[in-house]
Amino acid sequence: MAVSNRFAIQRVFDIYLFDLTDGSSKGRMNKLKETNFTNEQTTVYADGGAGNPHIVGFDHSKMARIEASDAIYNLPTMGVQLGTTPVTGANTDFVYEDKIYVATNAALTTYTALGTVGSEIKFVYELNTDGSLGTSYTQGAVVSSGVFTYTPGSKTITFDAAEIADDTQIIVYYNCTTDATTKTLTNYTNVFSEHVKMVANGLVKDICTKEDYLCEIIFYNAKVSGNFDMALAADGEVATQNISFEALSSCSSDKLWDIIIADTLT
């Protein structure tokens, strides 16, 4: 059956991103909540005569934009927004909050604290009954009043004799090592969002036959915006990954974008 010129469209289901040089995948968004497609041009007019009406229009500056939000965050896609790539491997910048108890003038950290010898932890805080931080102690080379030592090999914090009562809960902050499967994505001050080929994939429906057709909107050269936000709230909606693409002209074609509607593929 021939594809109709008239159809209804509700949503885009997937967005694929590709490298402009080698065509490799740069990211994908396949749990889209909403997608907004805007096509614009600027028109200026020659005005004059009685009542100063528009006489003739001149068009310039065609623009197209897609803005999307995905229910699930995808690190490679976020990397395209930042101009960087996620790295897999152990990370020693992770800061851990350890809530532990004192017994016989000592306490054991859950993990091995990292850092300069003699300054791995820096501070220990007693935990007040209302949950706030109380008396603080500093790390030193020798145990004394208000000063504790830390032994990384045994993960032992040692306090001055009888300075902290047994069963006192303390709070400790320190860097520790994450596992080898850790993903790290960095935002650098001198690296920015990328240019990609963007394919928005969805469905349209014939208004007469009610048949579904495949639909793709393609930006052959798209500038990814580096602007996004994470709306985080304990009692609100789950945060969505939002992203926007501005269609640009390319060196190989005058196309700004294509919309392709097909019944079948071969």
Which residues are CB-neighbours of 141 under 8 A, at least 6 positions away? Answer: 118, 149
Domain at 33, CATH number: 2.30.110
The verdict on residue 251 lying in a domain is yes
User: Residue 31: what are its φ and ψ, rounded to 5°?
Assistant: -130, 50
The verdict on residue 144 lying in a domain is yes
The verdict on residue 114 lying in a domain is yes
Residue 132, judged by CB atoms within 10 A of its CB (0-12, 13-18, 19+), counts as exposed
Distance of CA 91 to the CA centre of its chain: 18
The verdict on residue 103 lying in a domain is yes
150 and 120 housed in the same domain: yes
The verdict on residue 207 lying in a domain is yes
Residues in the chain predicted with pLDDT less than 70, given as ranges, are 1
* Per-residue model confidence (pLDDT) at position 88: 98
User: Residue 40: what are its φ and ψ, rounded to 5°?
Assistant: -140, 155
* Per-residue model confidence (pLDDT) at position 12: 85
* Per-residue model confidence (pLDDT) at position 1: 65
The verdict on residue 21 lying in a domain is yes
The verdict on residue 25 lying in a domain is yes
Host domain of residue 98: 94-176
202 and 235 housed in the same domain: yes
Per-residue buried b or exposed e for 42-80, using 16+ beta carbons within 10 Å of the residue's own CB = eeeeeeeeeeeeeeeeeeeeeebbbebbbeeebeebbbb
* Per-residue model confidence (pLDDT) at position 251: 86
Identify the CA nearest to 68 among candidates 37, 45, 92: 37
103 and 71 housed in the same domain: no
The verdict on residue 152 lying in a domain is yes
Q: State both tokens at 128.
A: 């007040």
Identify the CA nearest to 116 among candidates 146, 142, 141, 98: 141
Domain count, the chain: 2
Of 117, 151, 176, the domain-final residue: 176
* Per-residue model confidence (pLDDT) at position 162: 84
